[in-house]
Amino acid sequence: MNQWSADLISVEHASTLDGLFHQRLNRSPDRPAYQWFDRAANDWCGMTWRETAEQVARWRAALSGESLHPGDRVAVLLRNGPEWVIFDQAVLSLGLVSVPLYTDDRAENVAHILRDADCKVLLIQDASRWKRLAPALGEAPDPERVVILEDSEQARQVAADEVRVAIAAHWLPERGEPWAQRVADPHALATIVYTSGTTGRPKGVMLSHFNILANAQASVTMLNVYQEDIFLSFLPLSHMLERMGSYYLPMMSGSTVAYARSITQLGEDLQSVRPTVIIAVPRVFERVYQRLQDQLKERPKPLRVVFKLAVHVGWMAFEYRQGRRGWHPLLLLWPWLRRKVARPVLERLGGRLRAAVSGGAPLPFAVARLFTSLELPLVQGYGLTETSPVVAVNPLEDNRPDSVGIPLRGIQVRIGADDELQVKGPCNMLGYWNHHAATAQMFTADGWLRTGDQARIAQRHVYITGRIKEILVLSNGEKVPPADMEMTIGLDPLFDQVLIVGEGRSYLTALLVINPDLWPELARDYGLDPEQPESLSHAPLLRDLVKRIREALVDFPGYAKVRRVALTLEPWSIENGLLTPTMKIKRNQVFAHYRDAVERMYAEHL
């Protein structure tokens, strides 16, 4: 792309999130706004900001007929797509409060959120999802209106049987009337985003229009964003990182957003869309990293040596460009290594990425180092739903991949008791919905938000060192942060999921979910039948896996050693209640589920 032009909308001009859309419509009505893949046409389609506004007007008109009042809560349970944005803008423009829901969350959790927020309207993807949800809601009077987006025979039958259910195509008018930007309080409640806590029921985080607008504006001061940028959106829009970073922020900059079809088709979509910006969780980069490692094992040794050299020299070149090391003769090799090694890898990601942002969880340094060495402009950030959500991010010109970056402009950070990172600024939440006690616990007496994360700050950069609540204290008093160990072990493709155990014990153990694709070959290597459950308890296999893990943890302190493991092929998922919708392990639930296996690991003699 030869020319980049900035057209940022300020917080003052936008005032509210729906005002942001109005300002964008006025500034660039005929520029491309959204792209998506039309399965019926088997091709990518798009719409301009003007065409988006025409659809928003239809949803505004339909919602206006539902006897709603400003401040009423309205829920959305959709896959990513233009309809998500269109519905959200219609909701916000009427002074209503949006409540996003995860499409793959358990019905019981969704029902709890709908009841807790007293949602009057629910927009849901299809009839099958409503049929799974309805029994969990029981006789609850709300939502008063359920709108099914996708028309189908099943949807028509459900609508015929239930008076509150409507199909979007029949519920929406043919057109709606243009509307003016409303004058409203920017500090009013805009959305309630339920955090998927690893313990207990999810709590509703209350965020104002100003909270989110301030976060988007502060984010673009750290990373330049242009009208010509194309964002590829694939994290769920119910996740606050994706919603701010791939919805409100591109609207502020006038960029285009393309919606990926699915994670499994992400590789194809990267090639088709050729995005310039992506926002992802570490797991996406970890999967590409593991795939590269697996492919390298199959290549001739000379090619493996060249790849390893490219990573080594590429890292030197990165550090040299960042001003953190001097010139070295090996850098003379970089133009050739870039052409032969780095460029082919980057082409698989579309070949045009200006920035790839990783957030939502810690990014393993080995993964960050590899991609950064190959000149992928990968930066790690940090935040919470409670902070709208970004607190810090690495600037491209001062990128330290082992840190989570520099605090955004206007956001203050400090280290409190127990090395806790605490935050103050315009992006801190209004509080938890209907949960005053939890709100009070989240803030210090002088108004700083407690993140629950341990950290240190050096040269303006924030480094996360652990979770206060997830520190394991061994019986000898040694303290172990399990997340770093789990992340390191999880880089081994054999282990899909990892949980370190050891609170109050004399040594550490690990629960491991084995990769089902690799298990049959591994079992046969030990003369085992992969179909037999007892094969997972084969003593020589377990001993060898303990050695394998110890090698992976060689850089950790001596007391941070795993001495026993227990294996399972059952994945920890949202469906079985062992993962949150944001894919975080529910530690207490997993521990309870495998309590007997844990006790056996500690009952056996060393």
Environment class of 63 (CB within 10 Å of its CB; exposed 0-12, middle 13-18, buried 19+): buried
d(CA 376, CA 345): 9
- For residue 348, the model assigns a pLDDT of 93
Beta bridge partners of 552: none
SS3 202: coil
Query: Which among 14, 92, 519 is positioned nearest to 253, based on CA atoms?
Result: 14
pLDDT tier for residue 104 given thresholds of 50, 70 and 90: confident
pLDDT tier for residue 501 given thresholds of 50, 70 and 90: very high
Torsion of CA 501, 504, 507, 509, to 10 degrees: -10
Neighbouring C-beta atoms of residue 103, cutoff 10 Å: 18
Characterize the bridge pairing of strands 203-208 and 230-233: unpaired
Check: CB of residue 481 under 8 Å from CB of residue 557: no
Which region holds residue 194: left if phi is over 0, alpha if psi is between -120 and 50, else beta? beta
pLDDT tier for residue 33 given thresholds of 50, 70 and 90: very high
Signed CA dihedral, 352, 355, 361, 365: sign only: positive
pTM, entire model:
0.86
The angle, 0 to 180 degrees and rounded to 10, between the axes of the packed helices 82-93 and 17-27 is: 110
Q: What is the pLDDT of residues 138-156, one digit of tens each?
A: 988 889 999 999 999 999 9
* Res. 265: pLDDT tops 60: yes
* Res. 479: pLDDT tops 90: no
- For residue 283, the model assigns a pLDDT of 81
Q: Which domains are seen in the chain, by residue range?
A: 11-184+223-278 (3.40.50.980), 472-603 (3.30.300.30)
- Summarize the confidence of residues 120-149 as an average pLDDT: 95
Q: What is the pLDDT of residues 434-467, one digit of tens each?
A: 999 999 999 999 999 999 999 999 999 999 988 8
Beta bridge partners of 509: 501, 564
- For residue 200, the model assigns a pLDDT of 60
Distance of CA 525 to the CA centre of its chain: 37
Tokens of 112: 């709890």
Q: What is the pLDDT of residues 170-193, one digit of tens each?
A: 999 999 999 999 999 999 999 999
Could you tell me where the beta strands, DSSP code E, fall in 110-160?
Answer: 119-124, 145-148
Of the chain, the percentage scoring pLDDT greater than 90 comes to: 82
SS3 316: helix
d(CA 414, CA 526): 52
Distance of CA 40 to the CA centre of its chain: 29
* Res. 50: pLDDT tops 90: yes
Beta bridge partners of 563: none
Distance of CA 10 to the CA centre of its chain: 26
Of the chain, the end-to-end C-alpha distance in Å amounts to: 62
- For residue 605, the model assigns a pLDDT of 47
Beta bridge partners of 257: 34, 231
- DSSP-assigned letter for residue 362: P
Q: What is the pLDDT of residues 540-589, one digit of tens each?
A: 999 999 999 999 988 777 778 899 999 999 999 988 889 988 788 888 88
d(CA 338, CA 322): 17
Q: What is the mean pLDDT of the chain?
A: 94
- For residue 604, the model assigns a pLDDT of 61
Check: CB of residue 121 under 8 Å from CB of residue 63: yes
- For residue 191, the model assigns a pLDDT of 98
Residue whose pair of structure tokens reads 């591109």 in the numeric block: 250
- For residue 196, the model assigns a pLDDT of 67
Of the chain, the percentage scoring pLDDT greater than 70 comes to: 98
- Summarize the confidence of residues 490-495 as an average pLDDT: 92
Query: Distance of CA 572 to CAs 194, 202, 497, Å?
Result: 21, 19, 8
Q: Buried b vs exposed e over 335-355: b needs ≥16 C-beta within 10 Å?
A: eebbeebbeebbeebbebbbb
pLDDT tier for residue 197 given thresholds of 50, 70 and 90: low
C-alpha count within 13 angstroms, C-beta hemisphere, residue 251: 30
* Res. 133: pLDDT tops 70: yes
* Res. 199: pLDDT tops 90: no
- Summarize the confidence of residues 286-298 as an average pLDDT: 89
Check: CB of residue 11 under 8 Å from CB of residue 213: yes
Query: Distance of CA 521 to CAs 30, 298, 503, 515, 527, Å?
Result: 56, 16, 34, 11, 10
Check: CB of residue 171 under 8 Å from CB of residue 190: no
* Res. 606: pLDDT tops 50: no
Characterize the bridge pairing of strands 431-432 and 355-358: unpaired
The angle, 0 to 180 degrees and rounded to 10, between the axes of the packed helices 82-93 and 49-64 is: 60
- For residue 524, the model assigns a pLDDT of 93
Q: Tell me, what amino acid is at 368?
A: A
- For residue 557, the model assigns a pLDDT of 73
Check: CB of residue 565 under 8 Å from CB of residue 542: yes
- For residue 126, the model assigns a pLDDT of 97
Looking at per-residue confidence, does 470 or 75 come out higher?
Answer: 75
Q: Is the peptide bond before 389 cis (omega within 30 degrees of 0)?
A: yes
Tokens of 43: 């091709």
